[in-house]
Amino acid sequence: MDLLGSIMNAMDKPPTLSEKERQIIKKRKEELEKRLNEEREKMDRFKGRVEQKLISYFSDPKNVMLKFEPMDHVYRSIVHELAETHGLLSYAFGADGIDRYIRIYRKDNAPCEDELAARRRGEPWNEEIRRQLIEKRKLEELELKESEGTKRKKKFIPNSNYKDKYAHLIGQDAALEAARKTETNKTYGFVPSENKKDIRSIEQTMADIRAKKRQRQSEEPNSSTQQ
């Protein structure tokens, strides 16, 4: 312990701050806190103005869209948050850091995809363009329906008649003859088909076979005696 104590005592102690240096550090800290408070108050004032503007503007049913001037990311995030809080839609357009701005819409008057795409490209958009686009789409849908109806009504007509192609083989009236209703021929040759059907039962058939066999056996001795 004595050795360790002597080593610690031999080491240089950290330099102490002078009163002037402590005052400088304290002042810088106070200035930083002051700027932060000022920025916080500035944000709160901005938030209050935007919220009041949204409430006042969209209280009139005729007002359906509100455009804000370009602003940086922090302020845009406040506008987006307020729009969502009040049930509105918000979209940002333009290049970030240059002319990025926000448009606020009513939900019942949400922008179509064509408007969003046009504004993102930096192209103009107004109600006249929207009306023309709607009319164009209605016309295209009508033309599509008429085209589909025409296709359904159109009757298929073959390019050639198969009877003309095979007339030398089947004749011109072959198809008509084949289409006529056919009737079953009840006779085959000179004997009616009904007479060719064996309607006996299996037992009767076996009995007849046995009877014929006995008859042949009884006839065989007579034939041998005659010889």
Query: Which CATH code, of 3.30.365.10, 3.40.50.300, 3.30.1370.50, 3.40.50.620, is assigned to 24-124?
Result: 3.30.1370.50
- Token pair belonging to 24: 């400088």
Query: In whole angstroms, how far apart are CA 52 and each of 45, 47, 215?
Result: 11, 9, 126
CA angle 126, 131, 135 (to 5 degrees): 150
Task: Show me where the domains of the chain are located.
Answer: 24-124, 126-180
* pLDDT exceeds 50 at position 188: no
Q: What is the pLDDT of residues 20-48, one digit of tens each?
A: 888 888 888 889 999 999 999 999 999 99
Q: Where are the beta strands (DSSP E) in the chain?
A: 65-67, 89-93, 101-105, 187-188, 191-192
Per the DSSP assignment, residues forming a β-bridge with 90 are 104
What is the average per-residue pLDDT within 170-184?
54
Instruction: Sheet with 89-93: list strands edge to edge.
Output: 65-67, 101-105, 89-93
The pLDDT tens digits of the residues spanning 132-151 come to: 877 887 888 888 888 877 77
